[in-house]
Structure 1
Amino acid sequence: MSEQNSYQRWRWIPNALTILRILLLPVIFWLHQQGQHMAAVVTFVIAGFSDFFDGRLARHFNWKTQLGAVLDPVADKLLVLFLLPLVWDQAVLLPWLGVLIFLRYLVQLSVFPVLMMWLKRPFKVKPIFPSKLATAVAFAIIALGLLGSFEVLRPVLRWLLEPLAFLGILLEIYVLVTFLPRYWAIIQGRHDTFE
């Protein structure tokens, strides 16, 4: 058996890491609500690393699957949608960022019922850098916001959160504005890839 073939038996790992990220979501939420703030931060960091490693492993060992390509961005969106409201009272711009994220994710998640169930149109997902950066910024804001539960860190973190939230707003607008024409083109059958 070749070395490449021996790696194939582990091809389930990236999808398992993505599923782990989804399963950690209620754990983070519960820990935060119980006042276990450091445990919430550590669990969130583990979830963030799972996002890094699932894609890295899938690309490196060619373990990419259609399920993984769809599940990974859904897991990221669920994490941001459910955890951002926990921290948005810590900076003035965060609620505005939250509204934009909710709007973009609502449009992006509509792809599944519209394209997969209704139109039965195949599509691929290849996120471009601004979309990945928008997710990374949202993750950083959540991590800093969770750390903001520690009163001693709040003044410094508020100083960091405002510019990050402003960057996040710009990125969310850009991604939404570029996503909508591509979505329409895929509905019309002129493209097959979300970027």
Structure 2
Amino acid sequence: MSLRDIPNLISLLRILLVIPVVWALVHERYVLALIVSAIAGISDGIDGFLAKHFHWQSRLGSILDPIADKLLLVASFATLAWIGLLPMWLLWLVLARDVIIVCGGLVYHYTIGEFELLPLWSSKLNTALQILLVLLVIIEQQWLPALHSVVTMGIWAVVASVLYSGFEYVIIWGNKAWKQRKQP
């Protein structure tokens, strides 16, 4: 164990934080859910800073970091849908986009060759809107029931960003695949 491992340990901590976030949401402990989510968000920034600033990037970190982010977000969405605070169809839409992207990447990898899946700006916006929606739902439940119309707008913003970013990945990677297949 060395200092270089700190970012990876922080990513592992974020994966473990999924459990208290889900527990807090299920038991309507919304302040705790916000606190743990904030810790996860801050730790995400810290591990990224440490990895880049001190050149502690690693292959493991490049895998753990997005897994930690996705697990926390999907677990929050799934829990909020399960307890009825988000529509179940929204969870399925979010999951379908992710599955399409992963499956498309695997098909590309095994039929054409290696690729580097860099996040698109629309994907980053999609993630930001999903995080914002989770926070809005929690804040609505704890303090501001009047936010319901804002949450509804957030749901539709997430729908738009999921569809747009999903189609953008399909179009970009479809075009790359088409060009690669046409080359001798």
Matched, 1:147 2:139: yes
C-alpha distance in 2 between matches for 1:101 and 1:69: 22
Matches of 2:14 and 2:120 in 1, distance apart? 21
- 1:53 pairs with 46, 49, 68, which one? 46
Q: Which residue of 2 aligns with 1:79?
A: 72
Residue 5 of structure 2 aligns with which residue? 12
Cα distance in structure 2, aligned partners of 1:71 and 1:107: 20
Name the TM-score, length of structure 1 as normaliser.
0.74
Tell me the amino acid that sits aligned with residue 131 of structure 1. S
Aligned to 1:135: 127
| CA distance in structure 1 between the partners assigned to 2:60 and 2:112 by the alignment | 16
Aligned-residue offset at 1:75: 2.0
Instruction: For 1:120 and 1:65, locate their aligned partners in 2 and report how far apart those are by CA, in whole Å.
Output: 26
Partner of 2:150: 160
Amino acid at match of 2:137: G
Give the counterpart letter for 1:168 in structure 2.
Answer: V
What SS does the aligned partner of 1:64 have? Answer: coil
Shift, 1:96, TM fit: 4.5
Query: Does the CA contact (< 8 Å) of 1:45 and 1:143 recur in 2?
Result: no
* Residues in 2 aligned to 1:74 and 1:171: alpha-carbon distance in whole angstroms: 20
Provide the rounded CA distance (Å) in 2 between the counterparts of 1:11 and 1:189.
Answer: 40
The structure with the largest helix share of the pair is: 2
Per-residue CA deviation, residues 137-176 of structure 1 (Å, 9 max, x unaligned), is 11111122223332x41222x1321222222222111211
Output the CA distance in 1 between the equivalents of 2:126 and 2:20.
24
Please tell me the root mean square deviation across aligned C-alpha atoms, in Å: 2.9
Q: Tell me, in whole angstroms, the C-alpha distance in 2 between the residues paired with 1:186 and 1:53.
A: 34
For 1:137 and 1:53, the matched residues in 2 are separated by: 21
Q: For the residues of structure 2 that align with 1:189 and 1:54, how far apart are their CA atoms?
A: 37
- After superposition, give the CA deviation of every residue in 1:12-52 in whole Å (9 maximum; x if it has no partner): 22222222111110111112223322112211111122223
Work out the number of aligned pairs and report it: 177
With over 3 angstroms needed to count, the CA separation of the structure-2 counterparts of 1:112 and 1:11, relative to structure 1, is: farther
In structure 2, relative to structure 1, the CA distance for the partners of 1:11 and 1:75 (3 Å cut) is same
- Whole-angstrom CA distance in 2 between matches of 1:67 and 1:119: 25
Identity of aligned residues (%): 27
